[in-house]
Structure 1
């Protein structure tokens, strides 16, 4: 086919996966269903939703999808704030056969820098910096303009086996579950998780090289990467030594499940804590299933641990969504042990804090590949007595209302 328009191809819940020219479309990294691939080199369940606007040109298969959110955010209590902002991402992918495998190029951009260096209010979130001097506390940092600029090449070494090499500047190393905006259970929420810096803050790493081996439903991979978190300059591309290491083992025992366990040694990740290294562990289970025609259930269970100067701090996350027709209901529960909630230059005491949120969004199709949606969410936060004087209450709340534009 030459420049043949395929349209938006729905890939979720299809018995034999997505098809192109009568053939099942396989992943960029191995001979398995394309639906299995998520952010970076991470896996998700084979039953995951994987929609995009697709076309072909010669030997190239091209895909694009994106979401633009317009959000009004209200966070209550003494540390609360209000803000209107835009967030989202636009992703493009080009893929073609190469030898006995595939070559893939991928780019992902975000409008987040437009919201300003201080990001948006989000109680109990912390990490990164807005000015190079102070850590953001009770705010979610904006993502960089360039979320991913990557290339991968794979070669099949058997009917169900392959080897691959992935590189990105920026890219995502082999650590943790798929980044939160790619997890089907919670991708419809405009709110970042407070567990972000335990599980998936490396999804924008300025320098990544990953080598992997796939044997049927098992994948093992090793990354060397630059662990320094993006700085306050959100429009540029940064560089640094690939001196950190991550190892991840992934297993998809059924079409509905995807499990991973990972370990990482992060060299000098924090701009405001020079010379302080971290070790991290992560384990997760992702679930996706079409309950019946028109009904889709997705879930996430994840755990992460940060070890900094012999202190082990954990985070636990549970996410779920239920989709029916144009409606999506989503929710998340989290617990983190956070040492960054007081305005100290060094890590302070660990406070165990928690959060639950629930929301819904209704989409309206305005063209075959474009929809608009309207939604809202409510969040209830839980802080211990030691933090109550700072927040004014044990249970500050958060609310978001949003409109969105989706290209799929």
Structure 2
């Protein structure tokens, strides 16, 4: 077994951030959907990060997705290390209509890389994810009916999507085989993603081509960037059970650097992948003071989701159905709001063509300042992307999406007499 020495560790970290420095191979042409027969002991990059299963089953953090999901990115190997890299950069023109709408041209991006090496009886994996989203400014981009976090530390973001942080994940995972179909793992991140909710929307095939974040984001996967997380778990065949200690506070308006390390919240998640095409999860978490502007309010979050993926010659189809519930616990002892959200999204890719759709409905009580009354708001989105190869592992996508937002009568005075709409034409460079 190769020794884990300081020179090889330095090389791995460099390769994790600049995967093109090492020899790369295109992932879509490789069959990674079956679990290798010789992965115990000493799992390889053709196995999953947490155990001996198909690497295509890994999603964001320690989340799972269906094993038949296509893996888009570059594979590399060097000096006993192996890994992969994936990323995209979008240039988006955003038009949101109505009295609370706005226009903006912005860029959003993500670069993800991993490096893996045998270490003792198990496997060590380093994970990194970066974004240049802070360059769009602390107020993010216009997105009707979106809420959560702040752009200036004094007022909440409403009808806008916050930018993601420069550092979205810097984490390490150590997994040890327990039996031919079982393993134990420890995940440590600063920042990282706890075991709460489905795979983050940027990593779901059913959502990744939509340039707009879901308005259910803060009911399902908003904890995907937390400055301090420790997750321990076990896998046994199609089952994964895990628990996390993490920092419950959402990132503040300072998106370029690190934020205080805390482990004041907890969560647990059970995931079942009964077939290669299906993945289900149920999770529960207690978030300590998640919102900067309401520090005395804690939150309990319950989520459940299922994802179906179907790969076929020349294409792929994936659909995700998810439910989330946020239950606030104000510090004054009074009962807090109980708010529910539903999401249904799907993407169909055939050759260079991708069609995606999303439908959401969510109860929100923070769309109008001074009112705590919950309002049921909804939206439907339809979009299309056409990919043009521009280099060996890079494609240029030409896309557009349109959204219709539905607001109840009590919000008509704020949003206008007719249902407001949004449209986002965009260009995308993607590593594939």
Query: What interval of TM-score do these two structures reach, taking the shorter chain for normalisation?
Result: over 0.9
> How much has 1:338 moved relative to structure 2?
0.5
Alpha-carbon distance between aligned partners in 1 of 2:33 and 2:155, rounded to the nearest angstrom: 51
Q: Which residue of 2 aligns with 1:128?
A: 149
Equivalent residue in structure 1 for 2:366, among 340, 359, 370: 340
Equivalent residue in structure 2 for 1:359, among 358, 362, 383: 383
Q: Which residue of 1 aligns with 2:27?
A: 9
Secondary structure, aligned partner of 1:241? coil
TM-align CA RMSD: 2.0
- The yes-or-no answer on 1:372 pairing with 2:392 is no
Q: Which residue of 1 aligns with 2:16?
A: none
Equivalent residue in structure 2 for 1:51, among 72, 86, 92: 72
> How much has 1:51 moved relative to structure 2?
2.0
Whether the aligned pair in 2 keeps the contact of 1:13 and 1:48 (CA below 8 Å) is no
Secondary structure, aligned partner of 2:409? coil
Secondary structure, aligned partner of 1:138? strand
> How much has 1:142 moved relative to structure 2?
0.4
Whether the aligned pair in 1 keeps the contact of 2:33 and 2:55 (CA below 8 Å) is no
- The yes-or-no answer on 1:185 pairing with 2:206 is yes
The 10-residue stretch of structure 1 (170-179 or 234-243) with the greater mean CA deviation from structure 2: 234-243
- The yes-or-no answer on 1:280 pairing with 2:301 is yes
Cα 1:19–1:90 shift into 2, 3 Å: farther
The normalised TM-score by structure 1 is: 0.95
Equivalent residue in structure 1 for 2:338, among 312, 325, 340: 312
> How much has 1:295 moved relative to structure 2?
2.6
Secondary structure, aligned partner of 2:164? coil
Whether the aligned pair in 2 keeps the contact of 1:226 and 1:240 (CA below 8 Å) is yes
> How much has 1:54 moved relative to structure 2?
1.4
Alpha-carbon distance between aligned partners in 1 of 2:45 and 2:431, rounded to the nearest angstrom: 23
Superposed counterparts of 1:3-402, under 5 Å: 5-10=23-28, 16=34, 25-290=46-311, 292-309=312-329, 310-344=336-370, 348-402=372-426
Secondary structure, aligned partner of 2:404? strand
Secondary structure, aligned partner of 1:64? strand
Alpha-carbon distance between aligned partners in 2 of 1:24 and 1:311, rounded to the nearest angstrom: 45
Secondary structure, aligned partner of 1:103? strand
Cα 1:24–1:201 shift into 2, 3 Å: closer
Cα 1:298–1:376 shift into 2, 3 Å: same
Alpha-carbon distance between aligned partners in 2 of 1:360 and 1:13, rounded to the nearest angstrom: 27
Alpha-carbon distance between aligned partners in 2 of 1:56 and 1:12, rounded to the nearest angstrom: 15
- Gaps spanning 5+ residues in structure 2: where? 3-7, 9-20, 330-335
Secondary structure, aligned partner of 2:414? helix
Secondary structure, aligned partner of 1:32? coil
The normalised TM-score by structure 2 is: 0.90
Whether the aligned pair in 2 keeps the contact of 1:17 and 1:35 (CA below 8 Å) is no
Alpha-carbon distance between aligned partners in 2 of 1:32 and 1:17, rounded to the nearest angstrom: 5
Alpha-carbon distance between aligned partners in 1 of 2:54 and 2:315, rounded to the nearest angstrom: 21
Cα 1:313–1:27 shift into 2, 3 Å: same
Secondary structure, aligned partner of 1:388? helix
Secondary structure, aligned partner of 2:410? coil
> How much has 1:14 moved relative to structure 2?
5.7
Whether the aligned pair in 2 keeps the contact of 1:17 and 1:24 (CA below 8 Å) is no
Alpha-carbon distance between aligned partners in 1 of 2:183 and 2:191, rounded to the nearest angstrom: 24
- Gaps spanning 5+ residues in structure 1: where? none
Whether the aligned pair in 2 keeps the contact of 1:9 and 1:18 (CA below 8 Å) is no
Secondary structure, aligned partner of 2:342? strand
> How much has 1:11 moved relative to structure 2?
6.7
Secondary structure, aligned partner of 1:386? helix
Per-residue CA deviation, residues 55-92 of structure 1 (Å, 9 max, x unaligned), is: 11121002111100000000000000000000020111
> How much has 1:187 moved relative to structure 2?
0.5
Whether the aligned pair in 1 keeps the contact of 2:32 and 2:55 (CA below 8 Å) is no
Alpha-carbon distance between aligned partners in 1 of 2:403 and 2:31, rounded to the nearest angstrom: 31
> How much has 1:20 moved relative to structure 2?
12
Per-residue CA deviation, residues 232-263 of structure 1 (Å, 9 max, x unaligned), is: 10101112320100000000000000000000
Alpha-carbon distance between aligned partners in 2 of 1:210 and 1:306, rounded to the nearest angstrom: 22
Alpha-carbon distance between aligned partners in 2 of 1:15 and 1:84, rounded to the nearest angstrom: 38
Per-residue CA deviation, residues 121-168 of structure 1 (Å, 9 max, x unaligned), is: 000000000000000000000001101111110000000100000011
